[in-house]
């Protein structure tokens, strides 16, 4: 059997090239990142988690769950408070120059706190650089960045990302909350896009 048949909802069968990272592999890796994060934040009683919407919602939920479970199992419980920020920089698969911060513009509750920014994907790093600059203005005690996916591009942003889930080639990916024009967030795997298919079906994947 093709793995794809088990992991794609029926309505996406035509539109996805292949599973790129299966759900179980994502979960294993997220658990590993939770370990690293707990070690680094061990001196703190709590973490202020800043989830970058919409793409970061699954990664953030799973990461926070692992931090809770690992804390319970090791008696080193680390309290997490989750806040959300919505950024918008893409239309279709094109990065637009201006970063819009939608909602949670006032992050003054971050002052003096240990902050973990949780973002699904870091590509050129422009978005993360702008967000870090914004977050720093609120004078947190420390800021770390978790990126599930970091793209291997020239001048890659790896150094911006303290916890890298997977370093991936420069392909457009969807799934596990990452979208193409708001589609495909409901996949629990990371998938290769099949852009050629979508371009032919423009009317079926209109920009929302
Ligand atoms: P950057 O500013 O690092 O170039 O872009 C980061 C943002 O672009 C991410 O937050 C994400 O929204 C979007 N992005 C970059 N690469 C991809 C990709 O392969 N797939 C999807 N769905 N979004 C991407
Ligand atoms: Mg995003
Ligand atoms: Mg998007």
Q: Which letter does DSSP use for residue 182 in this model?
A: T
For the segment 143-163, the average pLDDT, to the nearest whole number, is 87
The verdict on residue 1 lying in a domain is no
Among 135, 185, 128, smallest CA distance to 162 is for 128
Q: Is pLDDT above 90 for 204?
A: no
Confidence (pLDDT) at 25: 96
Phi (first) and psi of residue 140, to 5 degrees:
-70, 160
Q: Is pLDDT above 50 for 148?
A: yes
> What range does the domain containing 146 cover?
23-169
Q: Is pLDDT above 80 for 46?
A: yes
The verdict on residue 143 lying in a domain is yes
Confidence (pLDDT) at 12: 78
Residue of the nearest CA to atom 10 in ligand 1? 121
pLDDT band at 208 (very low <50, low <70, confident <90, very high): very low
Residue of the nearest CA to atom 9 in ligand 1? 121
Among 153, 165, 94, 86, smallest CA distance to 125 is for 153
Cα distance between residue 138 and residue 5, in whole Å = 47
User: How many domains does the structure of the chain reveal?
Assistant: 1
The verdict on residue 51 lying in a domain is yes
**C-alpha of residue 141 to centroid of ligand 2, in Å:** 25
Of residues 131 and 193, the one with the higher pLDDT is: 131
The verdict on residue 11 lying in a domain is no
For the segment 76-105, the average pLDDT, to the nearest whole number, is 74
The verdict on residue 18 lying in a domain is no
**C-alpha of residue 12 to centroid of ligand 1, in Å:** 21
ipTM of the complex: 0.94
Tell me if 127 CB under 6 Å of ligand 1. Answer: yes
The verdict on residue 197 lying in a domain is no
Which tens digits make up the pLDDT trace of 95-105? 555 667 776 66
Tell me if 161 CB under 6 Å of ligand 1. Answer: no
CATH of residue 36's domain is 3.40.50.2020
Tell me if 124 CB under 6 Å of ligand 1. Answer: yes
Query: In the chain, what is the straight-line distance between the N-terminal and C-terminal CA atoms, in Å?
Result: 35
Of residues 196 and 153, the one with the higher pLDDT is: 153
pLDDT band at 7 (very low <50, low <70, confident <90, very high): confident
Please list the active-site residues.
123
Confidence (pLDDT) at 181: 81
**C-alpha of residue 19 to centroid of ligand 1, in Å:** 18
Judge contact between 64 and 83, C-beta under 8 A.
Answer: no
pLDDT band at 124 (very low <50, low <70, confident <90, very high): confident
Tell me if 125 CB under 6 Å of ligand 1. Answer: yes
SS3 label, residue 41: coil
The most confident of 5-9, 94-98, 175-179, by mean pLDDT: 175-179
The verdict on residue 184 lying in a domain is no
Among 121, 94, 57, 86, smallest CA distance to 180 is for 94
The verdict on residue 79 lying in a domain is yes
pLDDT band at 49 (very low <50, low <70, confident <90, very high): very high
């Amino acid at each position: 059997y093709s793995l794809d048949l088990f992991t794609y909802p029926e309505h996406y069968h035509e539109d996805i090239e292949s599973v790129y990272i299966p759900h179980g592999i994502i979960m294993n890796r997220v658990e590993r990142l939770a370990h690293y994060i707990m070690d680094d934040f061990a001196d703190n009683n709590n973490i202020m988690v800043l989830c970058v919407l919409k793409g970061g919602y699954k990664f953030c939920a799973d990461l926070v769950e692992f931090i809770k479970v690992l804390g319970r199992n090791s008696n080193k419980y680390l309290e997490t408070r989750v806040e959300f920020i919505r950024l918008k920089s893409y239309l279709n698969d094109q990065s637009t120059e201006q970063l819009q911060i939608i909602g949670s513009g006032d992050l003054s509750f971050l002052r003096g706190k240990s902050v973990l920014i949780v973002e699904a994907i870091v590509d050129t790093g422009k978005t993360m650089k702008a967000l870090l600059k914004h977050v720093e203005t609120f004078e947190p005690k420390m800021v770390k960045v978790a990126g599930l996916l970091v793209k291997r591009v020239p001048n890659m942003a790896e150094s911006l990302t303290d916890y890298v889930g997977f370093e991936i080639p420069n392909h457009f990916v969807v799934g596990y909350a990452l979208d193409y024009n708001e589609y495909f967030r409901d996949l629990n795997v990371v998938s290769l896009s099949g852009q050629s298919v979508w371009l032919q079906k423009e009317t079926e994947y209109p920009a929302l």
